[in-house]
Structures are given as C-alpha cells and as structure tokens.
C-alpha cells in the first residue's frame, strides 16, 4: 500500500503517509484516505518521508485535500519532504497554503 492513514485516538489528527510515487496513480487511494472518515479531523499531516516522486497531479490532490478540510481555515502540515520536493512546493507557492516543515 502506498497511502497509509493513521487517525489519533481522539480522532482529532489524521496522518497520511505517502510511500513511493505521489502521482495520479495514487489519486483514488489518497482521496479515500480522508473522505472515508466518519468525523472530520481538526488537523491533517501529510508525511512525505517515503515519497520518491511528486508531480503536478499530487499538487492538485493536496489542493483537493485543503478544500475538503476547510480551505483557508484548514490546519494541514506537509512534513518530511526531500529537498527536491520542498523546491517544487516552494516554486508552486504551496508554502503559502500549507505549513511545510
């Protein structure tokens, strides 16, 4: 499985870990990782530690996640990005939409 989901015990935090390629092939799996939850979490962490590749469709998926989570009022962090992925996110101005660390 290349999209691994973990919900905190209190249900307030969702962690979505991406393994391998984060591209259009992960679209359905990524979307289901947050849409199938009974309760909307207060915060979401997208962990890219094991992601080996990210393309424009992955950026689109992150935007869909942001919209689903509440847009400007959402609390989404993108963590453990490689330096190349951080560059892509910065060039795309995603550092203005997400907390990237």
Average pLDDT, the chain: 93
Share of the chain above pLDDT 90, in %: 84
Mean pLDDT of 3-26: 95
In the predicted model, is pLDDT for residue 1 greater than 70?
A: no
Which pTM does this prediction carry?
0.93
CB atoms within 10 A of CB 2: 16
Reported confidence tier of residue 84, pLDDT bands at 50, 70, 90: confident
Handedness of CA 90, 22, 51, 31 (dihedral sign): positive
CB atoms within 10 A of CB 99: 12
Query: Strand pairing partners for 78?
Result: 46, 100
Note whether 49 and 80 are within 8 A (CB): yes
**pLDDT, position 38:** 86
């Amino acid at each position: 499985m290349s999209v691994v989901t973990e919900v905190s015990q209190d249900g307030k935090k969702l962690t979505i870990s991406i393994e391998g390629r984060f591209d259009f092939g992960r679209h359905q799996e990524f979307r289901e990782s947050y849409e199938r939850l009974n309760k909307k979490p207060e915060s979401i962490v997208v962990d890219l530690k094991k992601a080996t590749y990210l393309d424009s469709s992955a950026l689109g998926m992150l935007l869909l996640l942001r919209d689903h989570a509440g847009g400007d009022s959402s609390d989404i962090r993108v963590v453990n990005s490689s330096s190349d992925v951080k560059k892509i996110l910065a060039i795309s101005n995603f550092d203005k939409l997400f907390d990237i660390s």
